[in-house]
Amino acid sequence: MFDTLQDRLQATFRNLRGKGRLTDADIDATAREIRLALLEADVNLGVVKEFVGAVKERAKGEELSQALNPTQQIIKIVNEELVEILGGQARQLRFAKNPPTVIMLAGLQGSGKTTLAGKLGLWLREQGHTPMLVAADLQRPNAVNQLQVVGGRAGVPVFAPEPGNGVGNPVEVARASIEEAKRKYYDTVIVDTAGRLGVDAELMQQAADIRDAVDPDEILFVVDAMIGQDAVNTANAFAEGVGFDGVVLSKLDGDARGGAALSIAKVTGKPIMFASNGEALKDFDLFHPDRMASRILDMGDLLTLIEQAEKTFDVEQSRKAAEKIMGSGDFGLDDFLQQMQAVRKMGPMSKILGMMPGMGQYKDALGAIDEREIDRIEAIIYSMTPAERAKPEILNGSRRSRIASGSGTTVQDVNGLVNRFMETRKLMRQMGKGGGMPGMPAGMGAMGGMPGLPGRPAKQQPKKGKNARKVSGNPAKRSGNPAAAAAQQPQTPQTEAEMQAAMADFQLPPELQKMLNQNNLGPFG
């Protein structure tokens, strides 16, 4: 959604790189570009003026003049101001002291309230609550049935005493749901209300009547993030007619310009509490202004990525896999498949990689990722015998031909997977033992193990003595040398000179070298 804004801001910041000092003219030009970028993203004009004014005031003050790197300080200022207009900090749900907690959803028809009710119910259930959905939208055709289907998928019960389709009193249904929740000990009630194609008096009155009947602890205004400035106008109308405590942004995965997300919190004064960024029920979470600002500025969202990984990965399984790959066991293709499937549960690969810092410039490549490639990898591994998965080294030509036939792939596909797996396993074991990667800066390789495996010290390399035996370059002579085997193993550089020599000799794959060159990253940039 924020691709256009992200591209414009990145282009603006690139123009500042390499400047040791920024003049007032540089700051004015940067502010003008930021203003145009926000206006193109359909951000509210008043919000744009306030945002650009704050950036210019801070940039021309002592805060920038005392900075060692003025360009980075500009980015820091923009990031902080983005966080501010997005709401400042995440706002948690307020729960009633005496259950049930009543949450009322309001918004226009088509904003995604019914689907979002199921997402919120699933999210609360995963937090340890016992939610119940209430079908109080009795006018839209099949709205009740839709909520029942969504509730069934989320594993959340639905209170639907009326069939809907114009039959029943939504206010009475909402009132009765509170007694139903108390009787069956549900601690949270989520009331799905009717929407309209536009703001009108009837909609406001019905929503106000339901509000008065259930006395909700939270009224959440659900807004389609793709409708631009209309989202702000509708939010203001609801705030005056019914009132609400927080905003839920739906359809954040769309390709609209996203101005609503950057405007609505500042204009209405109400925080954005949740965000829905996909069609799956799990594509829903708390809205974190700081993380959203980081995504817009292409600084990634590693905290969300870590949280998703913690929810998805089995800790014990990951620990055993880490121990195997570090050399205390045999890390086979079965272990690799389990880890790959766990990553896949986190969502599409393009979405996962998009949370990494600096990936904004690779949007086209991320969009071109073929998720079916993972299916092909699974088919290849499932076509192997248990022994072949455990010991890929035994895969000879005939075995690989059989696997290719069984998986509907080619021998080249099987060779490619096996070779990549063997190289990756070798590299990970080298890093885990403290050997490090040739050409990496000092200290980077000597990690001593993976997270979750403390106390795995790096193996000490033998010190070079003055009388160390020299190894012949002749293979015939070397075969009789007891130290030949040890000498053939790659040695970790011990001095800065050796490190520089290793860096000079090390060759990266062309694609990775190109990426590093473009970003001025590392010793190879």
Query: Who wins on pLDDT, 490 or 32?
Result: 32
234 appears as a binding residue in the annotation: no
Contact of 255 with 5, CB cutoff 8 Å = no
196 appears as a binding residue in the annotation: yes
262 and 336 in a single domain? The answer is: no
Contact of 257 with 5, CB cutoff 8 Å = yes
Contact of 262 with 47, CB cutoff 8 Å = yes
For residue range 169-194, list pLDDT tens digits in order.
999 999 999 999 999 999 999 999 98
Q: What is the pLDDT of residue 184?
A: 93
213 and 331 in a single domain? The answer is: no
Compute the distance between CA of residue 115 and CA of residue 481 in angstroms, rounded to an integer. 72
35 and 136 in a single domain? The answer is: no
Q: What is the pLDDT of residue 171?
A: 93
Compute the distance between CA of residue 318 and CA of residue 311 in angstroms, rounded to an integer. 13
252 appears as a binding residue in the annotation: yes
Compute the distance between CA of residue 477 and CA of residue 469 in angstroms, rounded to an integer. 13
Compute the distance between CA of residue 55 and CA of residue 80 in angstroms, rounded to an integer. 9
Last residue of a domain, one of 432, 452, 480: 432
**Mean pLDDT highest for which of 10-19, 81-90, 211-220?**
211-220
Q: What is the pLDDT of residue 459?
A: 38
CATH number, position 25: 1.20.120.140
Task: Give the domain range for residue 166.
Answer: 101-290
**Mean pLDDT highest for which of 137-146, 331-340, 351-360, 361-370?**
137-146
The DSSP H or E segment spanning 131 is strand 131-135
Alpha helices in 297-371 (DSSP H): 302-312, 315-323, 333-345, 349-354, 363-367
Compute the distance between CA of residue 355 and CA of residue 341 in angstroms, rounded to an integer. 19
Q: What is the pLDDT of residue 367?
A: 66
Q: What is the pLDDT of residue 180?
A: 93
143 appears as a binding residue in the annotation: no
Rg (CA), the chain: 29
CATH number, position 264: 3.40.50.300
114 appears as a binding residue in the annotation: yes
514 appears as a binding residue in the annotation: no
333 and 386 in a single domain? The answer is: yes
For 156, what's the count of Cα atoms within 13 Å in the CB-facing half-sphere?
Answer: 33
253 appears as a binding residue in the annotation: yes
472 appears as a binding residue in the annotation: no
Question: How many other CB atoms sit within 10 Å of the CB of residue 28?
Answer: 13
Number of structural domains (the chain) is: 3
182 appears as a binding residue in the annotation: no
For residue range 26-40, list pLDDT tens digits in order.
888 888 988 888 888
For residue range 354-406, list pLDDT tens digits in order.
666 666 666 666 666 677 788 888 899 999 998 998 888 899 999 999 999 99
In a domain, residue 252? The reply is yes
Last residue of a domain, one of 432, 451, 473: 432
110 appears as a binding residue in the annotation: yes
CATH number, position 419: 1.10.260.30
446 appears as a binding residue in the annotation: no
First and final CA of the chain: distance in angstroms? 31
45-54, 142-151, 289-298, 442-451 — which is least confidently predicted? Answer: 442-451
Q: If DSSP codes are grouped into helix, strand and coil, which group holds residue 236?
A: helix
269 and 313 in a single domain? The answer is: no
Using alpha carbons, select from 259, 290, 297, 289 the residue that is nearest to residue 75: 297
